[in-house]
Amino acid sequence: MRFARAVATPAAAIAGLLAGAIACAAAAQPAATPSPADGEPLYRADAPGTFELPVLYEAPDFEVRDAATGAPVALRTLRGRVVVLSLFYTHCPDGNACPLATATLRSAERALAEKGLAGRVTLLSVTFDEARDTPEVLRAHRDMVGAGPGWILATPETAERRAALLAAYDQRIARAPDGSIVHPLRVYVIDRRGRVRQIYSQSWLRADVLMSDVETLLAE
């Protein structure tokens, strides 16, 4: 009974995805080119600095509240750092959406630490379900996914500020009758000058590609 309930929770889905992502990262190491039947990634991330990321637009400023510290966080105060911005909600039932973003950010946080880049990058996950994702819920979520100090989980606190943030980043959401939120998955990479340089959705989001893009921007 308890097991059955646990499996049905987003937490379990995330745990499963985290395990999958880690296994996947390990499997991606061999040099042989995988075939589709192998169930492995079919391409290797491009080496950092071997490509340019176009400037998509100036990242609109916003203010949210860090659920762990209670401190306000304004995007403008993060200039000089690369910011990985993920818009999400903790109740997301689609393992290919928010839990994927969470798993990818966790992999990225570890990779950044290993490369000594943690101090130059901020991972910022902002909920668009501020009514249910209270600071307490977000803190519990932090613990569950094992977020470290370089990863801020935050809330816009009010529906008005959430709507303004989503409009500014062209992220549409719609509430379904069952309480779930219909939304495209979006993760944005913002460069040290405050410009959006990459947008990922679920078919594009991979920790190794994210790391390659972040390192490319850090080298500019």
Partner 1 sequence: MTLHRSATRVLSRALVALTASALVAAAPALADEPCQSPYMAKIVGQEDYVYVWTLGDPALGAQSDSLVTIDANPASATYGKVLSRAEVGSINEAHHGGLTDDRARLWLGGLDSSRIFVFDVATDPAKPKLVRTIDNTTEVTGGLAGPHTFIALPGRMLVAFLSSKDGSGKTGMAEFTNDGRYVRTIWMPADAPYGYDARPSAKLNRLLTSSFTGKNVYMTELPKVLATPELMKQFGDSMIVWNLHTMKPLQTFRVGGAPLEIRWASSPENDWAVSTTALDHKMVLVKRKPDGTFEAKTVADVGEILPVDLSLSADDKHLYVTGFMTGELKHYDMSDPEKPVLVETINLGPQANMVSQSWDGKRIYVTGSLLSKWDKPDAKWWMKKFTLGPDGKLAEEKGFEVDFSKLGRPHQMNFGSKALYGEAGGVDRVASLGAPASAAR
Among all chains, which residue has been given the structure tokens 């977020």?
147
CB of residue 96 vs partner 1: minimum separation in angstroms? 5
Q: How is residue 94 annotated by DSSP? A: -
Query: Rounded to whole angstroms, how far apart are CA atoms 19 and 136?
Result: 25
Q: Which of 73, 94, 113, 115 binds partner 1 (CB under 8 A)?
A: 94
Q: Which of residues 188-207 bind partner 1 (CB under 8 A)?
A: 188, 199-207
Rounded to the nearest 10 degrees, the angle between the axes of helix 98-114 and helix 10-27 is: 50
Contact map string, positions 99 to 118, toward partner 1, x by CB under 8 A: -x--xx--x-----------
- Give the binding-site size for partner 1 (rule: CB under 8 A): 56
CA-wise closest residue to 152 among 118, 175, 203, 197: 118
Q: Which of residues 150-169 bind partner 1 (CB under 8 A)?
A: none
Return the number of the residue (67 or 169) whose C-beta is nearest partner 1: 169
Helix, strand or coil, per DSSP, at residue 146: coil
Instruction: Return phi, psi of residue 181, to 5°.
Output: -115, 120
Of the ranges 82-90, 129-137, 149-157, 183-191, which one interacts with partner 1 (CB under 8 A)? Answer: 183-191
Query: Contact between 141 and partner 1 (CB under 8 A)?
Result: no
Query: Contact between 131 and partner 1 (CB under 8 A)?
Result: no
Query: Rounded to whole angstroms, how far apart are CA atoms 53 and 87?
Result: 21
Query: Contact between 25 and partner 1 (CB under 8 A)?
Result: yes
Contact map string, positions 50 to 89, toward partner 1, x by CB under 8 A: xx--xxxx--------------------------------
Query: Rounded to whole angstroms, how far apart are CA atoms 146 and 129?
Result: 21
CB of residue 123 vs partner 1: minimum separation in angstroms? 16
Paired tokens of 88: 């999400």
CA-wise closest residue to 112 among 9, 4, 210: 210
Length of the chain: 220
By CB under 8 A, name the binding residues for partner 1.
17, 20-21, 23-25, 27, 33, 35-37, 39-43, 45-46, 50-51, 54-57, 94-97, 100, 103-104, 107, 170, 172, 174-178, 180, 182, 184-186, 188, 199-209
